[in-house]
A and B are shown apart, each in its own frame.
Chain A
Amino acid sequence: MKSNVPITRLGKFFGDKDFELEIGMGQEWLIGDMNYTCVLYKIDRNKIKTDDVYGEVVSDGIKFLPPVEFNAQVTIAAPENKFIGTSTKMDQVEPGNITISVYLKTLQDLQIDIDFGDYIGYYDSENFVRYYTVVNDGRVVSDTKHTYKGFKPFYRTIIAAPVGPNEFRGL
Chain B
Amino acid sequence: MAIPKKGPVKPTLPLNYPKTLLPRREQIKDMITKDGTYLPKSLLHADLDRGFLDFVKDKFKIVSEGINIPVVDILVTTQNWSQFVETWDFQNIDKNLEPPFLTIIRSPEVKYGNNPSVQYNIPNRRMYYYMEVPTWNGNFMGADIYKIPQPIPIDLKYSVAIVCNRMREVNTMNQRVMETFASRQAYQTINGHYIPIINDGFTDESSMDLEKRKYYVQKYDFTMMGFLIDENQFEVSPSISRTIQMYEVDQRPIKRPQKKQDPVQPQIIVLNYPIENVSQEYFFEYTCNLNYQNTVNIISYSVYINDQYYGDDVTIIQINTDDTLKIDVTKLNLGLESEISFTQVLI
Contact = CB atoms under 8 A, between A and B. Distances in A.
Interface of A: 51, 54, 56, 59, 84-95, 97, 128, 133, 135-136, 159, 161-167
A133 B166 CA distance: 16
B92 A165 contact: yes
A135 B97 contact: no
A136 B211 contact: yes
A51 B205 CA distance: 24
A90 B97 contact: yes
A160 B240 CA distance: 81
Contact of B219 (A56, A87, A92): A87
Interface residues of B, number: 34
Interface of B: 65, 72, 76, 80, 83, 92-100, 103, 105, 159, 161, 163, 165-168, 205-207, 210-215, 217, 219
13 contacts: A54-B168, A56-B167, A85-B206, A88-B205, A90-B103, A94-B213, A133-B213, A135-B210, A135-B211, A161-B212, A161-B213, A164-B92, A166-B100
B163 A88 contact: yes
A84 B163 contact: yes
Contacts, number: 84
- Looking at chain A's contact residues, the main secondary structure is loop
A87 B96 contact: no
B211 A90 contact: no
A54 B167 contact: yes
Nearest to A58: B168
A54 B165 CA distance: 12
B14 to A, nearest CB: 27
Contact of B207 (A85, A95, A136, A167): A85
A142 B215 CA distance: 32
Contacts of B217: 84-86, 88
A56 B166 contact: yes
Contacts of A128: 93
